[in-house]
A and B are shown apart, each in its own frame.
Chain A
Amino acid sequence: MKEDEAACVLFDAGHRACGGCAAAMAARLILDAAGKDTIVVSSTGCMEVFSTPYPETAWNVPWIHSLFENNSAVASGVVESLKKQGRKEKVIAIGGDGATFDIGVLCLSGAFERGHDFTYICYDNEAYMNTGIQRSGATPYDASTTTSPAGKCSFGNSRPKKDLPAILAAHGAPYVATASIAYPPDLKKKVEKAVSTPGPCYIQIHAPCCTGWGFEGEKTIAIGKLAIETGLFVSYEMEEGKITKVKKVVRKPVEEYLKEQKRFRHLFKPKRNDAEIAKIQAIADRNAEKFGIDIKLKK
């Protein structure tokens, strides 16, 4: 690598993420988009642990980690301190789905309601990965995790994914978006937009986890694309509470996504569970209708 390039890598190599980790990709893409005048506030979780085993840090921007559930509150303090000092750095809080959807909701809601000028980014790998793949409020319907295992009388996680972007939009957030690591230019554009929009903005980045979902690391992007192409994860933007942009797709059946991952294996083995697959298809269909993602092919 050329010297000047190495110098502007804001999320550095040498971190301990699993090979093919989408969260690591996300960290780099986020900083590529946000630039060096950014202060990052992380929550406890995979990204924090794989990037900062003392005395090593992969962060070449100012970075702080306090607890699992308080990154938005810490960020509130950072933002107000910068304001008081007349400083211009941007503040980005980054949290896993567990930190964001579950344990950190109190702090997140408070920070958004107060309207601090910061961007909150959730890297959504759909479970508590750092502690060994336990379910979260972002775990999709029927995914098998270590606390929602499929079994004789269970098909895995019994609840669908919480609609957190809608909850944050309801706080009056000026900009709310979802994105996927499978589409890096789109992701970066959304980060740029969020950090340059005054007020609290939210981005949820779908970040497939090879270890937790059960696929090979080389497939991270392929899986991310399938989530979008099946309609199980929708990539969109909301401005002032209104959906302004949606990624449209020629939809594939959900099965193509499900069968690639061990967390859904029980839907296919020992025998195919058509009823459950149909319920997941219905979730995708509802998403498609709600967001209007279908590209209608002319016959």
Chain B
Amino acid sequence: MPLGLGCTARPGKSREYKTGSWRVFRPEFIAEKCTKCGMCKIICPEGCIGENEEGLPVPDYDYCKGCGLCAEECPSEAIEMKKEEK
């Protein structure tokens, strides 16, 4: 890769760093409890919660740091933090 002249970089590169490896606890989303309110998606500091065809939230575990914020703020207690098994 040529050096980015003047300390520059193009977008996209940060995705190569997978922050999911930091995770100690893993958010598990319980579909039955979820009301699809969208709160978790809005607040995740990694912006790593997407949604599936049914509109249910799906975290991208490549980037999820397991901070627990989504579980803490979910109004329906539809997210549980489980110890990561490595």
Measured CB to CB, the residues of A under 8 A from B are 1-2, 5-6, 9, 11-17, 19-22, 24-25, 28-29, 51-52, 54-60, 184, 216-222
Q: How many A-B pairs with Cβ below 8 Å?
A: 105
Partner of A221, one of B1, B9, B22, B73: B73
* Size range of the chain B interface in the assembly: 35 or more
CA gap between A17 and B14 in the complex, in Å: 12
CB of A13 within 8 A of CB of B69, answer no
Partner of A25, one of B12, B45, B65, B71: B45
CB of A60 within 8 A of CB of B46, answer no
CA gap between A51 and B47 in the complex, in Å: 13
Closest 9 CB pairs of A and B: A1-B50, A218-B68, A19-B67, A14-B14, A20-B67, A19-B65, A13-B63, A24-B45, A217-B67
CB of B17 within 8 A of CB of A56, answer yes
Contact with A along B11-40 (1 / 0, CB 8 A): 111111111001000000000000000000
How far does the Cβ of A67 sit from chain B's closest Cβ, in whole Å? 13
CA gap between A15 and B46 in the complex, in Å: 8
CA gap between A21 and B11 in the complex, in Å: 21
A219-B72 CB under 8 A given contacts A14-B63, A19-B65, A19-B66 = yes
**Chain A residues with CB below 8 A from B42, complex form:** 29, 184
CA gap between A222 and B13 in the complex, in Å: 32
Measured CB to CB, the residues of B under 8 A from A are 1, 4, 7, 9-19, 22, 42-48, 50-51, 58, 60, 62-63, 65-69, 71-73, 81
CA gap between A20 and B51 in the complex, in Å: 20
CB of A60 within 8 A of CB of B11, answer yes
Complex: chain B residue closest to A216, CB-CB: B68
**Chain A residues with CB below 8 A from B68, complex form:** 19-20, 216-218
CB of A1 within 8 A of CB of B60, answer yes
Among B11, B15, B72, B81, find the residue whose CB has the most chain A CB atoms closer than 10 A: B11
A57-B14 CB under 8 A given contacts A13-B19, A217-B68, A218-B67 = yes
CB of A17 within 8 A of CB of B15, answer no
CB of B72 within 8 A of CB of A13, answer no
Return 10 A-B CB contacts under 8 Å, by A number: A1-B60, A9-B47, A12-B12, A12-B14, A13-B62, A14-B14, A20-B65, A218-B72, A220-B67, A222-B73
CA gap between A11 and B11 in the complex, in Å: 10
How far does the Cβ of A55 sit from chain B's closest Cβ, in whole Å? 5
CB of B22 within 8 A of CB of A19, answer yes
